[in-house]
Structure 1
Amino acid sequence: MKNSILWDCHMHSSFSADSDTDMENMIKGAISRGLEGVCFTEHLDPDYPPTPDQQIFHLDLDAYARRLSFLREKYKDSIMINFGIEYGLQPHLKENLKNHLKLYPFDFVIGSSHVIHGSDPYYGEYFKGREESQGYMEYFESILENLDVFSEMDVYGHIDYIVRYGPNKNLYYSYERYQDILDEILRTLVRKNIGIELNTGGYHYGLGEPNPCTAVIRRYRELGGEIITVGADAHSPEKISFAFDKAAKVLSDCGFRYYTVFKNRKPEFIRLS
């Protein structure tokens, strides 16, 4: 199937602590790939634990909003640019994030699990003293803990993010192995009218699958899920719209005839051509 997905709705620039790419270079990269639109979803991860590489997760939201507004106007005849945020969810942050949402006119809000009980699996320390399967299960349990107290996001980001960093990645991981808890997550999302994303980061992490994997996306659709955005989780221009041809086929194979883009926090459904 040709690439019929023309919006990348999950990307970062140097406003996120884990990217050093200027926002304008990301926009130019998206234009060069023929995209109709992008949504920047810079990281906001309050109470992020100290990291081995001394990474400081800070986001200057005022500067981010000003720069995006300027570039949106500058490139208005070439590409649409939406204003998003990716919240790093933790249960104790619920009031902080709810109040934060009132301050900025976001188009799109991703809620993601990065930190699980004080540790990010991106760093290998998370798996010390844990079986891989135990670490995966604790991660999925943390998603339910977040959903129990916070429902204000538009989609839940890269639901099986942890698989990118497991000791064996997805060698022993499958939807079927964790079906009970994954089904509980998906049913909760459907009930709360929260979507999911097809995050192609899994492909450039060598999983051969998106995040979440195809079987989870298919199950979400079977359970009545309708809202699904697509993003490459790009932190540099060469990853923009990465493997979107594969993403289009996954969506089609899972029963979707469209993907979703959010504007002013409202979903717009775009048909796959």
Structure 2
Amino acid sequence: MSTEPVSTEPHSERSFDELVREADEADVSGWDFSWFEGRATELRPSWGYQRLLAERLNAGGATLDLQTGGGEVLAGALRMAGRPPGMSAATEAYPPNVLKATRLLHPLGTTVVAAPDEPPFPFADGAFDLVTSRHPVKAHFAEIARVLAPGGTYFAQHVGPASVFELVEYFLGPQPEEVRRGRHPQDERAEAEAAGLHVLDLRLERLRMEFHDIGAVVHFLRKVIWMVPGFTVDAYLPQLRALDEQIRSEGPFVAHSTRFLIEARKGRD
């Protein structure tokens, strides 16, 4: 999403039905968020994941990007890197994203492997010097440690706890504390260390989001499917109509995403 303030006038003049129909028909494959330009904003973490990823790719060695989506983030980092990677692979489970990522990443020297998000990964022990991921559904640290070479690094940006829960709870109601705590960085630190990884860096930030029209809400929930599982326009039509009225009368719907950066190294023993 854009990080800059936007004018919402062209969209606010359109009807609920027009906005929802457009969002419901839009392509949601990959992790390209350009559709939200002028309709929603989200502040970015201060660390600049893609830039830091490019620096690590520049070090060379065999690399693996897990749950690459449409390959957009990895492709940008590869283009930013000062030299092409060594052996480079990426995994993705969703078939439309596999096709999109292959078209994008193959010319950049990266092989895309159609593979489930769940273990086991289809790679040999110790095959990679660097394993990366941006917003994995779940980080399987034991399997990450298995495919890392001794001295290898896991570098990733994860979704943090209670991310965008203002929107989640608008549709689903208050969530129990154990759900709100899910994806907590300290819990993931413990999982990484239990798998034999030494956590070098762990940073968490809470970032403001604004949805400027109901179409942006619909598109977001169709794209980020784990926020409101099973979301469809028909299933949540009353709530969508009420939220549309709220945005028109009160201004953007405000939520907050949470993100954390994690870097962990496998021992050489």
Work out whether the TM-score is over 0.5: no
Q: Which has the higher strand share?
A: 2
TM-score by length of 2: 0.33
